[in-house]
Chains A and B, each alone.
Chain A
Protein backbone atom coordinates (compact mmCIF):
# COMPACT_ATOMS: atom_id res chain seq x y z
CA UNK A 1 0.00 0.00 0.00
CA UNK A 2 1.12 3.54 -0.70
CA UNK A 3 1.52 5.44 2.50
CA UNK A 4 3.36 8.35 4.06
CA UNK A 5 4.05 8.36 7.78
CA UNK A 6 5.13 11.31 9.88
CA UNK A 7 5.55 9.87 13.36
CA UNK A 8 5.70 13.16 15.25
CA UNK A 9 2.64 15.37 15.59
CA UNK A 10 4.61 18.09 17.34
CA UNK A 11 8.28 18.94 17.41
CA UNK A 12 9.39 21.71 19.71
CA UNK A 13 12.94 23.10 19.62
CA UNK A 14 14.77 26.22 20.70
CA UNK A 15 16.01 28.79 18.23
CA UNK A 16 19.40 27.81 16.87
CA UNK A 17 18.93 24.11 17.56
CA UNK A 18 19.03 21.52 14.76
CA UNK A 19 15.76 20.27 13.41
CA UNK A 20 14.83 16.93 11.84
CA UNK A 21 11.27 16.24 10.77
CA UNK A 22 10.82 12.56 10.04
CA UNK A 23 9.04 11.09 7.06
CA UNK A 24 8.81 7.46 6.01
CA UNK A 25 7.03 6.16 2.96
CA UNK A 26 5.73 2.95 1.50
CA UNK A 27 5.69 2.77 -2.30
CA UNK A 28 6.41 -0.01 -4.76
CA UNK A 29 7.68 2.15 -7.61
CA UNK A 30 10.28 4.86 -7.89
CA UNK A 31 9.12 7.49 -5.40
CA UNK A 32 8.81 11.20 -5.98
CA UNK A 33 8.71 13.01 -2.67
CA UNK A 34 7.94 16.50 -1.51
CA UNK A 35 7.79 18.61 1.61
CA UNK A 36 4.96 21.12 1.85
CA UNK A 37 4.67 23.80 4.52
CA UNK A 38 1.79 25.81 5.92
CA UNK A 39 2.66 28.92 7.90
CA UNK A 40 0.09 30.50 10.19
CA UNK A 41 -2.77 32.07 8.22
CA UNK A 42 -1.19 31.12 4.90
CA UNK A 43 -2.04 28.49 2.35
CA UNK A 44 -0.25 25.20 1.92
CA UNK A 45 2.77 25.61 -0.34
CA UNK A 46 5.66 23.57 -1.67
CA UNK A 47 8.87 23.78 0.32
CA UNK A 48 11.09 21.42 -1.62
CA UNK A 49 11.11 18.33 -3.83
CA UNK A 50 13.66 15.54 -3.70
CA UNK A 51 14.48 15.58 -7.41
CA UNK A 52 15.74 19.15 -7.15
CA UNK A 53 18.24 18.31 -4.42
CA UNK A 54 18.09 21.94 -3.37
CA UNK A 55 18.19 23.80 -0.08
CA UNK A 56 15.21 26.05 0.58
CA UNK A 57 15.22 28.43 3.57
CA UNK A 58 18.10 26.35 4.93
CA UNK A 59 16.10 23.10 4.77
CA UNK A 60 17.33 19.99 2.98
CA UNK A 61 15.88 16.53 2.55
CA UNK A 62 17.60 13.43 1.26
CA UNK A 63 15.80 10.44 -0.14
CA UNK A 64 17.03 7.24 1.48
CA UNK A 65 15.57 4.36 -0.49
CA UNK A 66 17.10 1.75 1.80
CA UNK A 67 15.32 3.17 4.81
CA UNK A 68 12.36 4.47 2.76
CA UNK A 69 12.78 7.83 4.41
CA UNK A 70 12.77 11.47 3.37
CA UNK A 71 13.56 13.38 6.53
CA UNK A 72 13.60 17.19 6.50
CA UNK A 73 16.57 18.82 8.19
CA UNK A 74 17.84 22.23 9.12
CA UNK A 75 21.01 22.81 11.12
CA UNK A 76 19.85 25.94 12.96
CA UNK A 77 16.12 26.54 13.47
CA UNK A 78 14.67 30.04 13.31
CA UNK A 79 11.45 31.28 14.89
CA UNK A 80 9.98 31.95 11.45
CA UNK A 81 10.29 28.23 10.70
CA UNK A 82 7.38 27.56 13.05
CA UNK A 83 4.70 26.00 10.85
CA UNK A 84 2.95 22.79 9.90
CA UNK A 85 5.06 20.53 7.66
CA UNK A 86 3.67 17.81 5.43
CA UNK A 87 5.59 15.12 3.64
CA UNK A 88 3.99 13.96 0.38
CA UNK A 89 4.46 11.20 -2.17
CA UNK A 90 3.46 11.52 -5.82
CA UNK A 91 1.62 8.34 -6.70
CA UNK A 92 1.12 9.25 -10.34
CA UNK A 93 3.58 10.04 -13.07
CA UNK A 94 5.91 12.96 -12.58
CA UNK A 95 3.43 15.16 -14.41
CA UNK A 96 0.60 14.75 -11.93
CA UNK A 97 -0.29 16.13 -8.54
CA UNK A 98 -1.81 12.92 -7.20
CA UNK A 99 -0.14 13.34 -3.86
CA UNK A 100 -0.44 11.17 -0.79
CA UNK A 101 0.18 13.27 2.30
CA UNK A 102 1.39 12.40 5.75
CA UNK A 103 -0.50 13.63 8.78
CA UNK A 104 1.81 16.55 9.25
CA UNK A 105 4.18 17.69 11.97
CA UNK A 106 3.86 20.99 13.75
CA UNK A 107 7.24 22.58 14.25
CA UNK A 108 7.41 25.02 17.11
CA UNK A 109 10.61 27.05 17.42
CA UNK A 110 10.90 28.73 20.79
CA UNK A 111 12.96 31.91 21.34
Chain B
Protein backbone atom coordinates (compact mmCIF):
# COMPACT_ATOMS: atom_id res chain seq x y z
CA UNK B 1 0.00 0.00 0.00
CA UNK B 2 1.25 3.47 -0.83
CA UNK B 3 0.92 6.80 0.92
CA UNK B 4 0.16 7.33 4.59
CA UNK B 5 -1.93 4.70 6.38
CA UNK B 6 -3.55 5.11 9.78
CA UNK B 7 -5.06 2.44 12.00
CA UNK B 8 -7.52 2.08 13.51
CA UNK B 9 -9.84 4.33 11.54
CA UNK B 10 -12.26 4.48 14.48
CA UNK B 11 -11.61 3.98 18.17
CA UNK B 12 -13.89 4.21 21.18
CA UNK B 13 -12.26 4.09 24.59
CA UNK B 14 -13.02 4.72 28.20
CA UNK B 15 -11.13 7.25 30.25
CA UNK B 16 -9.12 4.57 32.02
CA UNK B 17 -8.12 2.63 28.92
CA UNK B 18 -4.75 2.54 27.22
CA UNK B 19 -4.77 2.43 23.45
CA UNK B 20 -2.49 3.37 20.59
CA UNK B 21 -2.91 4.93 17.18
CA UNK B 22 -0.61 3.78 14.44
CA UNK B 23 0.65 5.55 11.34
CA UNK B 24 2.76 4.13 8.56
CA UNK B 25 4.15 5.92 5.52
CA UNK B 26 5.46 4.31 2.35
CA UNK B 27 6.79 7.49 0.76
CA UNK B 28 10.37 7.39 1.99
CA UNK B 29 9.88 10.59 3.98
CA UNK B 30 12.03 11.65 6.92
CA UNK B 31 9.50 13.61 8.94
CA UNK B 32 6.20 12.58 10.50
CA UNK B 33 3.56 14.56 12.31
CA UNK B 34 0.51 14.20 14.50
CA UNK B 35 -2.26 16.75 14.08
CA UNK B 36 -5.52 16.97 16.03
CA UNK B 37 -8.77 18.07 14.43
CA UNK B 38 -11.51 18.88 16.90
CA UNK B 39 -14.97 20.04 16.08
CA UNK B 40 -15.14 23.79 15.55
CA UNK B 41 -11.37 24.21 15.93
CA UNK B 42 -8.56 24.40 13.38
CA UNK B 43 -6.15 21.57 12.84
CA UNK B 44 -3.61 21.69 15.67
CA UNK B 45 -0.04 20.47 15.39
CA UNK B 46 0.77 18.10 18.26
CA UNK B 47 4.13 16.46 17.54
CA UNK B 48 6.82 16.50 14.88
CA UNK B 49 9.48 13.86 14.37
CA UNK B 50 12.42 14.38 12.06
CA UNK B 51 14.68 11.41 11.41
CA UNK B 52 13.04 9.65 14.37
CA UNK B 53 13.86 12.47 16.77
CA UNK B 54 11.11 14.56 18.29
CA UNK B 55 11.62 18.16 17.24
CA UNK B 56 8.33 19.66 18.35
CA UNK B 57 5.99 19.04 21.23
CA UNK B 58 3.28 21.62 21.00
CA UNK B 59 2.32 21.82 24.70
CA UNK B 60 0.45 18.55 24.45
CA UNK B 61 -0.68 16.91 27.73
CA UNK B 62 1.37 13.95 28.86
CA UNK B 63 -1.61 11.62 28.46
CA UNK B 64 -0.59 11.67 24.78
CA UNK B 65 2.72 9.93 24.24
CA UNK B 66 4.24 9.71 20.76
CA UNK B 67 6.72 7.11 19.59
CA UNK B 68 8.69 6.99 16.35
CA UNK B 69 10.66 3.73 16.16
CA UNK B 70 11.81 4.37 12.60
CA UNK B 71 11.19 6.86 9.82
CA UNK B 72 8.25 4.86 8.45
CA UNK B 73 6.23 4.38 11.63
CA UNK B 74 4.67 6.72 14.13
CA UNK B 75 2.52 5.87 17.12
CA UNK B 76 0.40 7.91 19.47
CA UNK B 77 -0.08 6.17 22.79
CA UNK B 78 -3.21 7.22 24.67
CA UNK B 79 -3.70 6.90 28.42
CA UNK B 80 -6.36 8.25 30.80
CA UNK B 81 -7.87 10.50 28.20
CA UNK B 82 -10.69 12.95 28.78
CA UNK B 83 -13.93 13.26 26.79
CA UNK B 84 -12.65 16.55 25.35
CA UNK B 85 -9.84 14.58 23.67
CA UNK B 86 -12.40 13.10 21.30
CA UNK B 87 -11.31 14.23 17.87
CA UNK B 88 -9.92 13.17 14.51
CA UNK B 89 -6.20 12.50 14.78
CA UNK B 90 -4.34 12.98 11.54
CA UNK B 91 -0.91 11.67 10.74
CA UNK B 92 1.20 13.27 8.04
CA UNK B 93 4.65 12.92 6.55
CA UNK B 94 6.99 15.10 4.54
CA UNK B 95 10.45 14.78 3.01
CA UNK B 96 11.90 17.47 5.32
CA UNK B 97 15.20 17.62 3.58
CA UNK B 98 16.77 20.32 1.50
CA UNK B 99 14.39 19.40 -1.28
CA UNK B 100 11.26 19.70 0.81
CA UNK B 101 8.56 22.07 -0.30
CA UNK B 102 6.77 22.14 3.04
CA UNK B 103 4.04 19.91 1.60
CA UNK B 104 2.43 17.44 3.96
CA UNK B 105 1.00 14.09 2.92
CA UNK B 106 -1.88 13.17 5.19
CA UNK B 107 -3.45 9.92 6.25
CA UNK B 108 -7.20 9.50 6.42
CA UNK B 109 -7.24 9.95 10.17
CA UNK B 110 -8.26 8.01 13.26
CA UNK B 111 -11.59 9.08 14.74
CA UNK B 112 -11.29 8.83 18.53
CA UNK B 113 -14.23 8.90 20.92
CA UNK B 114 -13.54 9.01 24.65
CA UNK B 115 -16.47 7.99 26.84
Contacts and interface: CB of A to CB of B under 8 A. Distances in A.
Interface of A: 4, 32, 34, 36, 43-46, 49, 51, 86, 90, 94-104
Given A32-B102, A49-B101, A103-B42, A96 B31 contact: yes
A97 B96 contact: yes
Contact of A44 (B31, B42, B94, B106): B106
Contact of B90 (A44, A49, A104): A44
Interface of B: 4, 31, 33, 40-45, 48, 50, 56, 90, 92, 94, 96-98, 100-109
Contacts of B94: 96-97
B113 to A, nearest CB: 20
A99 B45 contact: yes
A103 B41 contact: yes
A49 B108 contact: no
Given A96-B96, A97-B94, A99-B45, A34 B102 contact: yes
